[in-house]
Amino acid sequence: MPIPRSEYLSSVWKDGIFDGRVVFVTGGAGTICSAQTRALVALGANACIVGRNQQKTEAAAIDIATAREGAKVIGIGGCDVRNPGNLESAAERCVKELGAIDFVIAGAAGNFVAPISGLSTNAFKSVIDIDVLGTYNTVKTTMPYLVKSAARNPNPSQNGLTGGRILYVSATFHYTGMPLQAHVSAAKASVDSIMASVALEYGPLGVTSNVISPGGIAGTEGMERLSSSAVDEKTSGKIVPLGRWGTIRDIADATVYVFSDAGNYVNGEILVVDGGTWRTGGPVGLDSSHRYPDYLLKGEFSKHVKSGRKEKPNL
């Protein structure tokens, strides 16, 4: 059953602004990336989403396709972004079945709450491999297609249609530093750096490269991993200057902007969509009783966050 459009897309966007475009999305079955993809599909795009879990990815593709009658959405499971061969096969299938790759969202990521004292080298490496190596592999795999799309769609657009754009889903923790997130901070700082290099090296070929850094987004797996379930949303949202957690629509709208004709001159930019939270240094993984630096000195953090441990993926 289709999700009401108002839940993932604001009313300002015109139907058809992405007609004939194709978006390739890593981590596309995740809460945020699926909303980004759904918004693009609703506005005319077709999509290919990839992920490690085959059943989840294929189910998400079927669900996203309900956003627009006649939409084509491919779900490719068993695709590990750490494996270049997996990505190359997925991209080739995307182009074969959908005709092109005009937009890319690099959204595959890993996260959990852990102090450095309890963070093993392997756990740190796992996040680096998924976020950093996975992002680089995505760039290397899809860039030839994006360059071709940019050539077909000169910037500025003459007809309102765009192409040759890549967007990375990052985070804000490394802007100020964040306890319990050393692994993610290091990974996302690298993602931001890759974005800037791509903007400089491929901008002359017409490709735009930008980052979206979401804050806490209600109802997402990310929030389950970072925000204590023992603290109600209304109370925890008070740390946000706007007084609320974000919605998936906030991120989807920002994505539409960057890929649309309105984002023609946006390149090498980090677009923070967090209600101003990063400026407050809002904590993650804590209960209301925790006070800095006491919880660190005692080696405590919330027991009410979702574990970072995952079941073996269904490949």
Residue 146, token pair as written in the block: 């994006």
Say if 307 falls within a structural domain.
Answer: no
State the greatest distance between any 2 C-alpha atoms of the chain, in Å, as a whole number: 60
The per-residue pLDDT for 314 is 45
Sign of CA dihedral 15, 17, 21, 25: negative
Asked if the peptide bond before residue 204 counts as cis, ω within 30 degrees of 0, the response is no
Phi, psi of 22 (to 5 degrees): -125, 130
Average pLDDT value for the chain: 91
* 202 CB neighbour count, 10 Å cutoff: 20
Q: Which of 148, 188, 227, 228 is catalytic?
A: 188
Q: Tokens 């392997």 sit at which residue?
A: 122
How does DSSP assign 8-28, residue by residue? T--TTSPTTTTTT-EEEEETT
| Beta bridge pairs of residue 130 | none
Taking residues 215-243, report their average pLDDT.
71
The per-residue pLDDT for 18 is 98
pLDDT at 191 over 70: yes
Q: Is 170 known to be catalytic?
A: yes
Percent of the residues in the chain that have a pLDDT greater than 70, as a whole number = 91
Say if 37 falls within a structural domain.
Answer: yes
Taking residues 28-38, report their average pLDDT.
96
The per-residue pLDDT for 237 is 72
| CATH number of the domain where residue 52 is located | 3.40.50.720
Answer with the residue of higher pLDDT: 261 or 298: 261
Say if 315 falls within a structural domain.
Answer: no
Give dist(CA 74, CA 294) in Å, integer.
49
Say if 1 falls within a structural domain.
Answer: no
**pTM metric for this prediction:** 0.89
Taking residues 277-306, report their average pLDDT.
75
Say if 285 falls within a structural domain.
Answer: yes
Give dist(CA 89, CA 74) in Å, integer.
13
**Which of 35, 17, 18, 14 has the alpha carbon at shortest distance from 250?**
35
Give dist(CA 273, CA 277) in Å, integer.
9
pLDDT at 111 over 90: no
The per-residue pLDDT for 51 is 97
Read off the pLDDT band of 313 (50, 70, 90).
very low
Q: Which of 149, 170, 236, 302 is catalytic?
A: 170
* 121 CB neighbour count, 10 Å cutoff: 7
Give dist(CA 179, CA 116) in Å, integer.
9
Say if 308 falls within a structural domain.
Answer: no
| Beta bridge pairs of residue 105 | 25, 167
The per-residue pLDDT for 289 is 74
Taking only the tens place, the pLDDT of each residue in 142-186 is: 999 999 999 999 999 889 999 999 999 999 999 999 899 999 999
The per-residue pLDDT for 226 is 62
Q: At what angle do helices 182-202 and 134-152 cross, to 10 degrees?
A: 30
| Beta bridge pairs of residue 251 | none
Distance, C-alpha 309 to centroid of its chain: 20
Domain residues for 191?
Answer: 15-297
Say if 7 falls within a structural domain.
Answer: no
Q: What is the CA radius of gyration of the chain?
A: 19
Read off the pLDDT band of 77 (50, 70, 90).
very high
Q: How many domains does the chain have?
A: 1
CB 167 within 8 A of CB 101: no
The per-residue pLDDT for 280 is 80
Taking only the tens place, the pLDDT of each residue in 273-287 is: 999 988 887 667 777
Q: Tokens 């978006």 sit at which residue?
A: 23
How does DSSP assign 169-200, residue by residue? E--SHHHH--TT-HHHHHHHHHHHHHHHHHHH
* CB-based contacts of 135, cutoff 8 Å, min separation 6: 81, 106, 108, 168, 190, 191, 194
Taking residues 291-298, report their average pLDDT.
73
Taking only the tens place, the pLDDT of each residue in 48-65 is: 999 999 999 999 999 999
Say if 3 falls within a structural domain.
Answer: no
Residue 162, token pair as written in the block: 């765009």
Read off the pLDDT band of 219 (50, 70, 90).
confident
pLDDT at 136 over 60: yes
Range with lowest mean pLDDT among 33-47, 112-126, 293-307: 293-307
The per-residue pLDDT for 315 is 38
Taking residues 76-92, report their average pLDDT.
98
